[in-house]
């Protein structure tokens, strides 16, 4: 799991530097593939059949369906990209590195000696970096990617602590995530049609 945690942290770190929407979706795709491989590894390690099913569903939904829907939207948005983030890429990367550092300290203090320390620290880091993306990016697509990154972090917590949730619960989570992303894709496209941009900061003009 430690190898997967390292690649996930590296991907999340790159996510903070992504300006082009297509690049951000590609990084998210790789991140989701790594999550599904981690799930497959847990299944192989524990011998639990439902983990193989969960790995297949993770790959099908998070690494195929969601990136496909986001890529289709990116093609329709043409020249849209993150032009005025709250934090510059360098500042966002520094914030991400700080988050990773404090996540390891938090896990070491809260759960000293735990075997899945690296995976848990990576999971907390993913959740916080996803939140960072939501708070510091103006593009609706980037905020959606931040939300999925947070969900990937939560899923990694489940993998590293419980070695996988019951299949029925995971099915419910997958459906919720898929529906939420599809709704966000539709809303983002409607935003583009209405305002000729998917920069959510323009919505502030609607305030009375």
Rounded average pLDDT per 10-residue block, the chain, 208 residues: 84 87 90 89 83 86 88 80 82 91 88 79 90 89 88 84 70 77 81 76 69
**Alpha-carbon distance 116 to 108, whole Å?**
11
Which run of H or E residues covers position 29? helix 21-46
Place of tokens 């005025």: 84
Distances (CA, A) of 126 to 33, 97, 100, 120, 170: 15, 11, 9, 10, 19
- Beta bridge partners, 139, equal 199
User: What's the pLDDT at 98?
Assistant: 93
The number of C-alpha atoms within 13 Å of 199 and in the hemisphere containing its C-beta is: 15
The 3-class secondary structure across 130-185, one letter per residue, is HHHHHHHCCEHHHHHHHHHHHHHHHHHHHHHHHCCCCHHHHHHHHHHHHHHHHHHH
Q: What is the pLDDT of residue 206?
A: 67
Cβ atoms < 10 Å from Cβ of 44: 12
| Cα–Cα distance, 196 to 180 (Å, whole number) | 23
- C-alpha angle with apex 22: 55 to 20, nearest 5 degrees? 130
For residue 27, the model assigns a pLDDT of 92
Tell me, what's the pLDDT at 164? 65
- Give the pLDDT confidence score for residue 30 in this predicted structure: 93
Length of the chain: 208
């Amino acid at each position: 799991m430690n190898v997967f945690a390292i690649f996930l942290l590296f991907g999340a770190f790159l996510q903070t530097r992504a300006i082009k929407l297509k690049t951000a979706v590609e990084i998210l795709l790789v991140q989701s593939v790594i999550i599904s491989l981690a799930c497959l590894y847990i299944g192989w390690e524990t011998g639990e059949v439902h983990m193989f099913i969960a790995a297949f569903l993770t790959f099908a939904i998070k690494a195929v369906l969601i990136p496909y829907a986001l890529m289709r939207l990116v093609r329709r948005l043409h020249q849209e990209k993150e032009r005025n983030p709250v934090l510059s890429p360098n500042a966002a990367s520094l914030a991400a590195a700080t988050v990773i550092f404090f996540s390891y300290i938090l896990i070491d203090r809260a759960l000293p000696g735990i075997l899945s320390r690296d995976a848990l620290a990576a999971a907390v880091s993913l959740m916080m970096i996803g939140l960072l993306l939501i708070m510091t990016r103006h593009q609706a697509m980037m905020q959606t990617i931040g939300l999925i990154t947070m969900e990937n972090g939560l899923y990694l917590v489940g993998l590293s602590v419980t070695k996988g949730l019951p299949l029925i619960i995971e099915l419910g989570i997958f459906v919720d995530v898929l529906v939420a992303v599809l709704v966000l894709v539709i809303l983002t496209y409607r935003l583009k049609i209405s305002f000729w941009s998917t920069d959510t900061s323009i919505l502030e003009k609607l305030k009375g």
